[in-house]
Amino acid sequence: MKAIAEDKMPDLNCFTVESAMKMVAGTARSMGLNVKGKAPWSN
Indicate the pLDDT class of residue 34, thresholds 50, 70 and 90. confident
Is 41 inside any structural domain?
Answer: no
Domain annotation covers residue 13: yes
Cα 32 from chain centroid? 15
pLDDT at 37 over 80: no
Domain that holds residue 1: 1-31
pTM: 0.76
Classify residue 2: in a domain, yes or no. Answer: yes
Alpha-carbon gap, residue 14 to 40, rounded angstroms: 17
Is 20 among the domain residues?
A: yes
Q: pLDDT tens for residues 8-33? A: 999 999 999 999 999 999 999 899 98
